Structure 1
Amino acid sequence: MRTGKNARGIAVTGAALLALTACGGGDEGGTPAAEGGDGGGGEKLVNVYGTDGNMGNALGESFTTEGALAGMSGTTPLTSLSSDFTDRLMAIDPNLQDFNYAGETYDAIIVSALAALLAGSTEPTEFAPYINGVTFGGEACEDFASCKSIIDAGGNPDYNGVSGPLAFTEPGEPAVASFGILQFGEDNQIDSDATEFELAGDEDAAASDEGPAPAPPGTTSDDPLVIGTLLPLTGNLAFLGPPEVAGARLAVQEINDSGGVLGQPVQLVEGDSGDASTDTASQTVDRLLQQNVDVIVGAASSGVSLTVIDAITRAGVVQFSPANTSDQFTTYDDNGLYFRTAPPDTLQARALSDLIINDGNNTVGIMALNDPYGTGLMENTVENLQAAGLSEDSIQTLTYDPQAANFDSEIQQMVEFNPDALVVIGFEESARIIEGLNAEGIGPARD
């Protein structure tokens, strides 16, 4: 395991192995499947993996054949959410199917509110320098009310969020993060009983600057903290919208139940991010800025955020994403105003490559969405696989256009490569890709 000293390693062995009719056959001498052969039995064991863009129950709704996704496993930023927290989310939205990024959205708003309390101001450029420091050092607390009590007493809070340890680095992102290792069952839904958790990263990489001296306890403001959301209500990540929206509403509700921020209730203005193929996000950002929001929570898609980050941060407003994972944001010139509770793909790549290696794969094919999320996660995963000992020629990668009429050419490339493991990094179009893989006998569907 190449996860930091705080990581809790897991080995997922066999559970995600899929018995598939070999395309191109195996070694006639009966080489074990983990070494690229078919074991002499005419079948090859293949692992099929997904990532946070497709490892959700919404993907299963695209399939009517039982077992079409059975055994497909993968990674997503996810912590072991308490039943108390999920019950509170369900009270906000009883129809939730998944909780992906709900905790990260909730935490983004809690951290922003605590930073405003420390700054004694709801002016974004005033409280942004306190955001990192909310997540490390000081006295540990796990909810807004207890953290606010520490601030009211003149202390320094160390907020441990529902989405994980947080502990932000200097660029404003988690130094260590929790990942869920998920697996689809025969009903094409995530088998929650099979979910495992792994930490990747190292808290020692967190920043040390906790920000300027805090405002005197009891400071109030005539200006309320206004939170805008830029979350996927439509588009190819719309399945992430409901849990993120629920997380945002729950955070604001609980902040206001605890007295609000600087004597004023927090206001929430909701907006749709759409996806990168539309200008929905730009229109929403324009509207939110006109409504004088102090923080924009979103977008979920890294590609969408890259289209609006300059407009937000140059306006002097904080952008706080619960789901951006592209490592481009780590070094982005954001005027110190961009933050994220989701970990960069450098961390997810470690968790994903650990899963692939622990399953005994020696050859890996990766099909990635051609956008900053897809290409970034693919490249980081390849780097980690090679660091684990896989040779360059044992890994084949390709990118695809999510708007393509079909993915026949890309699927055929993977059929010809005939890998031990196949990774699909994408969004809702993953359903069409997996249907094509199943039709060729290299997808997760069992015979």
Structure 2
Amino acid sequence: MRTGTTARSIAVTGAALLAITACGGGGDDGGTAAEGGDGGGEKQVNVYGTDGNMGNALGESFTEDGALAGMRGTTPLTELSGDFTDRLLAIDPNLQDFNYAGETYDAAIITALAAELAGSTEATVFAPYVNGVTSGGTECDSYSSCLELVNNGENPDYNGVSGPLSFTDPGEPAEASFGILQFGEDNSLDDSATEFVIAGDAENATADEGPAPADPNATSTDPLVIGTLLPLTGNLAFLGPPEVAGARLAVQEINDAGGVLGQPVQLVEGDSGDASTDTATQTVDRLLQQNVDAIIGAASSGVSLTVIDRITGAGVVQFSPANTSDQFTNYDDSGLYFRTAPPDTLQARALADLIIEDGNNTVGIMALNDPYGTGLMENTVENLIDSGLSEDSIQTLTYDPQAANFDAEIQEMVDFNPDAIVVIGFEESARIIEGLNAQGIGPQR
């Protein structure tokens, strides 16, 4: 398995790969040929999404079969074990997707282990231990097995359910697993077509394992209190259920193993809303009043940017399972911001590789005008150019998600007539794709 770029998962069968090529388009059947090309018919534009819209929630906006057929995209995702998804379903039997459930679960586990190592539930005391929990030391893959190492005076190297962690000095994954997903004829994700790739390089992980562990027999009368700032409402609400389930499962399993420093972990849940409301600010104020030591969230990079100073300024850890904007890599967070989600620099590599491997020579990118959308767009363009595409073969635009319509942006794509269109957005992506379909340049078959 290569690092530094992407590597195909050997778990994908040959039949699945053939199906992906046929539906996703690699140019072999005229899908990316010029209009009236090898296939003798109209040009089939390949449409790609990213983590903000590559979920079954997008398909629920369409009633006509085939409206999303063959649309592919990337999302931070590892091949979750059946055991883990069963445990999640025991928490919430209604889960339809598991996006970011593993990342949320791991954020809580890492927080608890850092507090154990520090012998303290004070965020400013345990935060310096967070990166070391994921790198160096002795490998372990559950809270209970890692806790046993801590109790023996050892430093754990937690390998999480969300894939390789190995945090860098800024507190984010040096490498990450991504799922390449594809919609089927029923506008739902076709699980049989899913591929997994790795982007990044574990060699970039921190060499600093953190301060020496505290007394392994330390206890505390002050319980670890974890708050959540996850999307229960707003344009990312479809991500809320799996993330909430991940947090609840982690806290349940931490407490089943004895809690942290002899006390059960307390979970205080809250809604992040979206960037168009002040829901997140209100939730953060409430969580801080309830003396939380760490806040898991937000999912949206834009939302996190509105509250990060409020959280870290209060001396509380913020640990996002889904922020991908590269603005956070060098953000002045006093060493209190972390994320289990990989930065856009890694997803952009996986997305660009997918686009190139599908044989696309011209690419249009439509991105939500926020830190997530513009950051992922810019990084993807850079990677496409590094892969050999010329600048004039790529056209980009940003859009306002609150716009009454996207007619002008869609017409710009019609005029450009690319082989591939990338839509980087959230729930508003459905209206954009409907418009692309109406103009004959969408995924609809």
* TM-score, normalised by the number of residues in structure 2: 0.95
Q: Which amino acid aligns with 1:126?
A: V
Q: Distance in 2 between matches of 1:362 and 1:35?
A: 10
Superposed counterparts of 1:158-173, under 5 Å: 158-173=157-172
Equivalent position of 1:319 in the other structure? 318
Within-5 A mapping of 1:126-205: 126-205=125-204
Paired residue for 1:289? 288
TM-superposed CA distance for 1:165, in Å, is 1.1
- Which residue identity does 2:435 align to in structure 1? G
Question: For residue 332 of structure 1, what is the aligned residue in structure 2?
Answer: 331
Task: Tell me the SS of whatever aligns to 1:43.
Answer: coil
Distance 1:18 1:186 in 2: 18
* Structure 2 unmatched runs, 5+: 10-16
Matches within 5 A, 1:47-446: 47-446=46-445
Residue 35 (structure 1) shift: 5.6
What's the Cα RMSD here? 1.6
1:188 partner letter: N
8 Å CA contact 1:18, 1:444 repeated in 2 = no
**Distance (Å, rounded) in 2 between the aligned partners of 1:38 and 1:377:** 33
Alpha carbons 2:30, 2:44 under 8 Å: kept: no
CA contact (8 A) 1:368 1:399 kept: yes
The 1-side partners of 2:35 and 2:378 are apart by: 26
Amino acid at match of 1:353: A
Q: Is the 8 A contact 2:6 2:350 kept in 1?
A: no
Aligned length: 434
1:17, CA displacement in angstroms? Answer: 2.4
Residues 26 and 360 in structure 2, CA contact (< 8 A), matched pair in contact too: no
- Native 8 Å contact 2:436 2:442 kept in 1: yes
Post-superposition CA distance 1:72-105 (Å, at most 9, x none): 0000000000000000000000000000000000
CA distance in 1, matches of 2:79, 2:249: 18
2: CA distance between counterparts of 1:322 and 1:287?
A: 21
Asked whether the equivalents of residues 13 and 358 of structure 1 are also in contact (C-alpha less than 8 Å), the reply is: no
Cα distance in 1 for residues equivalent to 2:389 and 2:355? 11
Match of 1:25 in 2: none
Conserved 8 A contact 1:36-1:362: no
> How many Å separate the matches in 2 of 1:238 and 1:17?
31
Q: Structure 2: which amino acid aligns with 1:44?
A: K
| Separation in structure 1 between the aligned mates of residue 417 and residue 22 of structure 2, nearest angstrom | 19
**Matches of 2:307 and 2:42, distance apart in 1:** 48
Quote the sequence identity (%).
Answer: 79
Query: Counterparts of 1:417 and 1:397 in 2: how far apart (Å)?
Result: 10
Q: How far is 1:45 from its partner?
A: 2.8
Give the TM-score taking structure 1 as reference length: 0.95
> Residue deviations 1:388-439, cap 9 Å, x none?
0000000000000000000000000001111000100000000000111111
Listed as ranges, the gaps of 5+ residues in structure 1 are: 20-30
* Aligned residue number for residue 39 of structure 1: 37
- Are the aligned partners of 2:6 and 2:353 in contact in 1 as well (CA < 8 Å)? no
Alpha-carbon contact 1:252-1:268 (below 8 Å) kept: yes
SS of the equivalent of 1:199 reads strand
Is the 2:33–2:43 Cα contact (8 Å) retained in structure 1?
no
Kept in 2: contact 1:18–1:46 (CA 8 A):
no
- Say whether 1:13 aligns with 2:13: no
1:37 Cα deviation (Å)? Answer: 4.8
Q: Output the CA distance in 1 between the equivalents of 2:226 and 2:32.
A: 50
Preserved contact between residue 319 and residue 339 of structure 1 (Cα < 8 Å): yes
